[in-house]
A and B are shown apart, each in its own frame.
Chain A
């Protein structure tokens, strides 16, 4: 299957700082990427859909000024958690839609964010 990378895999930061997470499709082009958040023992929660060259579409209840998404190229989307607070601590996972075949979503390995 297609490969999606995420960087960093772990982040520990102080409250009030901003954290940028990168999501890259390594062997395919992804016009659409998705950002999810997952709390322990809970299901995936879609935060936003990132479209190359246009503004991201945010799910209800997700603050677009808090979670900035940029999809500047066909292989890279970034999520910036601005002014992070302890309640933002979570597992953030991106996925990229492979346009070939079944248009499957392939997931990156995830980024664990801990805000102190």
Chain B
């Protein structure tokens, strides 16, 4: 079957760094996405990886290892507004659909 795993919840301190991991097992791979979702709002796109390596976008970076079926989202200089759920999603083979993880709720403490 197809499966995406990420931790349910993480806690970090304002100003620190946090890494959210995602492992996947899918039939086919055509890219991995990270989205941020604040409570009560729709997801917003953060990053896209299709090749191995690190993609950096400001305070956020995303890493992919296709051979390991593994990705992480790295958030630096954490701010209170970063408290949200972070969703990992993989585009497999069919119909451009995304296979979604359950999301990681990130709690930032002062």
Count contacts on B: residues with CB < 8 A to the other chain.
21
Whether, in the assembled complex, B43 has its beta carbon less than 8 Å from a beta carbon of chain A, the answer is: yes
- Chain A residues touching B, range: 20 to 34
Interchain CB contact (< 8 A) of B100 among A32, A43, A104: A43
**B3 interface residue (CB < 8 Å to A):** no
Query: Closest residue to B100 on the A side, CB-wise?
Result: A44
Interface contact A102-B50, CB-CB below 8 Å: yes
Give the contacting residue for B48; candidates A44, A102, A107; CB below 8 A.
Answer: A102
- Give the residue of B40, B42, B101 whose beta carbon is less than 8 angstroms from that of A107: B42
Check A67 for interface membership: any CB of B closer than 8 A: no
Q: Is the CB of B42 within 8 A of A93?
A: yes
Interface contact A109-B42, CB-CB below 8 Å: yes
Report chain A residues within 8 Å CB of B42: 93, 107-110
Q: How far is the CA of A105 from the CA of B48 in the complex (A)?
A: 11
State the Cβ distance, A116 to closest chain B Cβ, in Å.
20
Minimum CB–CB distance from B33 to chain A (whole Å) comes to 7
Query: Are A102 and B100 in touch, CB under 8 angstroms?
Result: no
| Complex contact A43–B95 (CB within 8 A) | no
Check A49 against B97 for contact (C-beta < 8 Å): yes
**Contacts A44-B43, A44-B87, A108-B42; A103 near B96 (Cβ below 8 A):** yes
Contact partners of B97 in chain A: CB under 8 A: 34, 46, 49
Q: Are B48 and A104 in contact (CB under 8 A)?
A: yes
Chain B residues in 8 Å Cβ range of A104:
33, 45, 48
Q: Cβ of B87 and Cβ of A102 under 8 Å apart?
A: no
Q: Which chain A residues border B96 with CB–CB below 8 Å?
A: 32, 49, 97, 103
9 contacts between A and B (CB under 8 A): A32-B95, A43-B101, A49-B96, A57-B95, A102-B48, A102-B50, A104-B45, A107-B35, A110-B42
